[in-house]
Amino acid sequence: MSSVNIIQEPIYNQIKNTNSGFTNKHLVGISDAITSGLEVVGFNNTTQYIEYNGVVALDVVSSDAQDDSSGTGAKTVQVSGLYSDSGDNNRYKQRVAIFTLDGTSNASLASGTNSFSVINEVKVISHGTSNTNVGNISVKKTGTSSLMGFIQAEHGRSNAFMFAVSNRNTLLVKDIHVSAFCQTGCVLRLYRQNLISGHRTLESQLLINDQTTHINHQVNLKINENEIFYSFLLPLEAITGTNFLTMNCSALLV
């Protein structure tokens, strides 16, 4: 446990002069090529599938055969997320599972429980001589195309700007840094959503001009237990040229 005493910071004042267990969280969203009309930042898809008030098994598959237990790419990946506990009023609890990759075939469960509601992170934990994943690794609701997690080729971890908060925790977000080179004007929207009721709120919105942009955006948000915080990128015109965006955020999970 650590003692925190931070003053003149609106969101952190909630834990000043108290002994609170906390974890630093660094959220990163990287969109290398924005091509769709609406995109979850860093997710390579228009939506992230969430199983509200329920759980599903996962299929974990690479686009490259070298992401395999005997290949040169990723051998095993760790999936971290939440599951809805039906025995506790569907409150969301933390869960971690490790999968052994089998190239373009479905991975096998190495440890943990293959039963999730929402995915926070997927990362490579062992690999061959390529030192990372060779192909794109997709985590989907089993037997469907519903994407729940994604690692872009050679990134080694998922880079979607989102975080789902488990029961009895709070995420304190102070500010967000955005770097972008967009030849298409876009709107960046920040949302929070309750995972139990489904209620969604637009918390903030930024305009990304059709040029190189660097923005430090102070938000001072408190994301409560059983809520998810995420961002959407919405083009304002037909997508043309090169469009790249990175988001970084440092937060405290209390």
Q: Point out the domain boundary residue: 123, 151, 179.
A: 151
Same domain for 170 and 147? no
The domain total for the chain is 2
Q: 110: number of CA atoms within 13 Å, CB side?
A: 16
Please check the confidence at residue 4 and state whether its pLDDT lies above 60: no
Q: What is the pTM of this model?
A: 0.89
| Structural domain includes residue 90 | yes
**E strand or H helix at 173:** strand 171-182
Give residue-wise pLDDT tens across range 90-126.
999 999 999 999 999 999 999 999 999 999 999 999 9
Euclidean distance between CA atoms 90 and 15, whole angstroms: 27
The radius of gyration computed from the CA coordinates of the chain, to the nearest angstrom, equals 19
Q: Point out the domain boundary residue: 116, 151, 186.
A: 151
| Structural domain includes residue 247 | yes
Same domain for 185 and 142? no
Place of tokens 């009309």: 37
Euclidean distance between CA atoms 211 and 201, whole angstroms: 29
Euclidean distance between CA atoms 174 and 6, whole angstroms: 13
| Structural domain includes residue 138 | yes
Q: Which residue range(s) make up the domain with 225?
A: 2-46+162-253
Longest dimension (CA), the chain: 54
Average pLDDT over residues 157-173: 95
Same domain for 244 and 185? yes
Same domain for 30 and 7? yes
Least Cα distance to 22 among 32, 31, 12 occurs for 12
Same domain for 63 and 42? no
Q: Is 176 left (phi over 0), alpha (psi -120 to 50) or beta?
A: beta
Same domain for 187 and 240? yes
| Structural domain includes residue 229 | yes
| Structural domain includes residue 51 | no
Predicted pLDDT at 5: 47
Please check the confidence at residue 6 and state whether its pLDDT lies above 60: no
Same domain for 71 and 9? no
- List Cβ neighbours of 250 (8 Å cut-off, separation of 6 or more): 24, 25, 26, 27, 174, 175
Same domain for 109 and 70? yes
Same domain for 181 and 146? no
Q: Point out the domain boundary residue: 93, 118, 151.
A: 151
Confirm if 133 and 156 have CB atoms less than 8 A apart.
yes
Q: Is 87 helix (H, G, I), strand (E, B) or coil?
A: helix
